[in-house]
Amino acid sequence: MGDAESAVEEKVNWNDIDILKVSHHGSKDATSLTFLEKIKPEYSIISVGKDNSHNHPSNETLSNLNAINSTIYRTDENGTIILTSDGTNYHFDFDETSLDGNR
C-alpha cells in the first residue's frame, strides 16, 4: 500500500485479501474502516518505528483494524516481521532483536 491514502482506497476495486501491509505507517489518513470492510484482511502488518515523532500508528487506524478483527503485527512491538509462503499457506516469524536498535 506504500503511502496510499483514503482517496486511493476509494478509487480501486479491491478484493478480499489475507494479509494487508497497512499504508503510511498506520497514519489516520489511510486504512479507512470502509476500505477494511471491503478487503477483510485476516492479518495486518504495520511498519513503524518505536516512539516515532508522528505518533504512528494512529488510534483510529488501530480501532478500524480491531473492528474487523484483523490480527495486528507491528514492527515497533514485534520487531522484524518475517512472512513466508509457499503460495498457498503462510507463516509469520519475528526477530525481536531488532527492537533494541542494534540490528
Q: Where are the domains of the chain?
A: 6-78
Residues 65 and 93: beta-carbon distance below 8 Å: no
Sign of the dihedral defined by the CA atoms of residues 65, 45, 99, 26, in that order: negative
Tell me the pLDDT tens digit for each residue of 30-47: 788 988 999 999 999 999
Cell digits for 97?
532483536
Average pLDDT over residues 82-103: 85
pLDDT at residue 15, as a whole number:
79
Q: What percent of the chain has a predicted confidence (pLDDT) above 90?
A: 54
pTM for the structure as a whole = 0.84
pLDDT at residue 17, as a whole number:
86
94 or 8, greater pLDDT: 94
Q: Considering only CA atoms, which of 79, 34, 42, 38 is closest in space to residue 60? A: 34
